[in-house]
């Protein structure tokens, strides 16, 4: 049995991951799940496949590395679709719009998520030259996609996820940024505005901004960029949407620019992709990468290096053993061989090391850690290129002629929503959301309550765990109000809403610096955050050279997945 499988993890595994019989009963154990996945992924090895199977199994069984959910669900199954992330192109025709919708439904059914940029679609009420009449516009078709997603579960186990992007110069951009304010529309979409450097400069200088009709490339109207920015920020303050995708920054780091501009990302923004590209994700559990010297925790760099190398090989193998639903996706996957190895358990690692999240030391360590992971990832990909060959598009990439890699990209920081529950650790590079919290909506009509075991262990180790503190922690999800605990100790346990937004962004920048794809991170804000705070965050994210930015103000949605109050049940949730 793998280590530290929590009650919440087992509930999630039984609902979604373990194979079931016709009566819906689980017919495999967690060990058998990991063995099924390891055997499938190792099957493409031409030498010592059993050796690699055992190594892959061992890493997963120790919860030191886990792949994305579709791989855990589908590996070893007939026609198993193993990728998490897809971007599908949408052109300005009904045929393209509904062909992409059909393809998206198939991807959602298999467990994948999809991203699209709707900016090629002519604006609402634009003329339809061949038929007469007027266009419905991109928002109308997004609603069609939204309705379809509602009825197609990912892998038959969870609802599909979408990213919808509209560029900041599209004539329907104002309608787009306010599209989710009614709390009903586009609830199966994350939406983001495709931002350009030219827009940010126009905003800073206060010069007029042209909105361009994609049908003819002509300016349809001119607006004050500050007015659009104000609407965008207000909508984000009210609902968390839209986020921003910084298209120029993304394309400045596009490893294969000769294949075209990147226009979209996967649903959570950590993988910018060309049309019909997919990506396989996996994450190293940093909370397991610890050694103790004289009873003091330190990073076990050797273990981390081994986990990274194994993870890169695992994800590269997934490209080979994957079943592709679309021939276009298969072609792009084999041509570019993009993978995204990331991390989870960052906040737990910092707590073990007794480093506050909101500190310069933590940010510097994050940068050092990600540099190490990227270096190890590239070294592994280089060895794989010598063993198995470069990705076929290598000669047309920016890596030619100096760096021969097996994979066009190696690293992404994904949100790790489900796999971090399985691994019983903190999400991605996020701080603790709360020390005790409810998780609602992860499983249909079920609420999970979570108290991270490391919090109790660390407070006990430091000599501050008492029944009274336990009760206060479980009631409020925080210890910051407990004056009997010294301030320097309390700082180790600061939660997401207690950490200044500037440190959220600094962590994202630190990891992005050495991540060749992108970083999915939510800047969680207290309910008291202002529209000015969000405007400042969005501007700073662009100045930092981030590839995207997402915020969420606590309580701004009726159905909030994470809620601070945990035990006992109370009306505050």
Catalytic residues: 266, 268, 270
What DSSP line would sit under 501-521, residue for residue? Answer: HHHHHHHHHHHHTT-SS-B--
CB distance 224 to 208 below 8 Å: yes
Cα 512 to Cα 28: distance, rounded to the nearest angstrom: 38
Smallest Cα–Cα separation from 370: which of 184, 151, 516, 231? 516
Cα 310 to Cα 564: distance, rounded to the nearest angstrom: 36
Query: Quick one: tokens of 53?
Result: 């199977």
Smallest Cα–Cα separation from 28: which of 14, 41, 40? 14
Query: Quick one: tokens of 301?
Result: 């760099």
- Classify strands 113-117 and 162-167 as parallel, antiparallel or unpaired: parallel
Q: Give me the helix-helix angle, 531-543 and 225-239, nearest 10°.
A: 110
SS (H, E, C) 112-150: CEEEEECCCCCCCCCECCCCCCECCCHHHHHHHHHHHHH
Given strand 562-563, what is the order of strands in its sheet?
A: 447-451, 436-440, 562-563
Q: Give me the helix-helix angle, 30-42 and 301-321, nearest 10°.
A: 70
Cα 490 to Cα 487: distance, rounded to the nearest angstrom: 5
Cα 291 to Cα 261: distance, rounded to the nearest angstrom: 44
Q: How many other CB atoms are found less than 10 A from the CB of residue 484?
A: 9
- Classify strands 522-525 and 548-553 as parallel, antiparallel or unpaired: parallel
Query: Quick one: tokens of 432?
Result: 């603790």
């Amino acid at each position: 049995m793998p280590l530290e499988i929590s009650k919440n993890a087992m509930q999630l595994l039984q609902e979604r991951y373990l194979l079931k019989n016709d009566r819906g009963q689980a017919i495999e154990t967690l060990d058998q799940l990991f063995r099924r996945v390891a055997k499938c992924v190792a099957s493409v090895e031409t030498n010592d496949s059993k050796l690699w199977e055992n190594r892959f199994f061992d890493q997963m069984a120790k919860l030191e590395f886990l792949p994305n959910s579709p791989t855990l669900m589908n590996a070893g199954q007939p026609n198993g679709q193993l990728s998490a992330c897809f971007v599908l192109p949408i052109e300005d025709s009904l045929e393209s719009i509904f062909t992409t919708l059909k393809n998206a439904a198939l991807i959602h059914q298999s467990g994948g998520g999809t991203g699209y940029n709707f900016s090629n679609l002519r604006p609402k009420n634009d003329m339809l030259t061949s038929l007469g009449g007027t266009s419905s516009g991109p928002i109308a078709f997004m609603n069609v996609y939204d309705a379809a997603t509602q009825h197609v579960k990912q892998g038959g186990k969870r609802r599909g996820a979408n990213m919808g992007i509209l560029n900041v110069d599209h004539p329907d951009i104002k309608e787009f940024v306010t599209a989710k304010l009614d709390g009903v529309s586009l609830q199966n979409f994350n939406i983001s505005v495709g931002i350009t450097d030219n827009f940010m400069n126009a905003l800073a200088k206060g010069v007029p901004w042209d909105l361009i009709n994609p049908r003819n490339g002509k300016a349809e109207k001119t607006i004050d960029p500050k007015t659009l920015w104000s609407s965008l920020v207000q909508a984000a303050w009210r609902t968390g949407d839209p986020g921003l995708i910084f298209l120029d920054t993304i394309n400045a780091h596009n490893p294969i620019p000769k294949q075209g501009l990147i226009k979209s990302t996967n649903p959570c923004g950590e993988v910018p992709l060309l049309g019909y590209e997919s990506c396989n994700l996996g994450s190293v559990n940093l909370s397991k990468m610890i050694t103790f010297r004289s009873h003091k925790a330190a990073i076990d760099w050797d273990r981390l290096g081994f986990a990274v190398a194994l993870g890169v090989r695992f994800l590269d193998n997934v490209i080979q053993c994957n079943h592709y639903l679309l021939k276009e996706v298969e072609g792009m996957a084999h041509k570019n061989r993009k993978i995204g190895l990331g991390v989870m358990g960052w906040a737990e690692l910092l707590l073990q090391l007794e480093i506050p999240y909101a500190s310069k030391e933590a940010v510097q360590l994050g940068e050092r850690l990600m540099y190490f992971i990227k270096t190890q990832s590239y070294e592994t990909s280089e060895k794989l290129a010598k063993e198995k060959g470069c990705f076929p598009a290598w000669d047309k990439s920016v890596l030619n002629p100096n760096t021969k890699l097996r994979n066009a990209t190696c690293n992404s920081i994904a949100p790790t929503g489900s796999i971090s529950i399985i691994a019983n650790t903190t999400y991605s590079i996020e701080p603790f959301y709360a020390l005790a919290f409810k998780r609602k909506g992860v499983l249909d009509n079920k609420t999970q309550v979570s108290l991270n075991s490391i919090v109790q262990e660390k407070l006990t180790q430091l000599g501050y765990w008492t029944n009274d503190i336990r009760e206060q922690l479980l009631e409020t999800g925080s210890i910051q109000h407990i004056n009997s605990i010294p301030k320097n100790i309390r700082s180790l346990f600061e939660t997401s809403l207690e950490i200044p937004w500037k440190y959220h962004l600094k962590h994202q920048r630190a990891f992005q610096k050495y991540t060749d794809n992108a970083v999915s991170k939510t800047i969680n804000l207290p309910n008291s955050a202002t529209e000015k705070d969000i405007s400042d965050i969005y501007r700073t994210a662009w100045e930092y050279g981030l590839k995207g930015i997402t915020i969420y103000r606590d309580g701004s949605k009726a159905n909030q997945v994470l809620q601070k109050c945990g035990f006992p049940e109370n009306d505050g949730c």
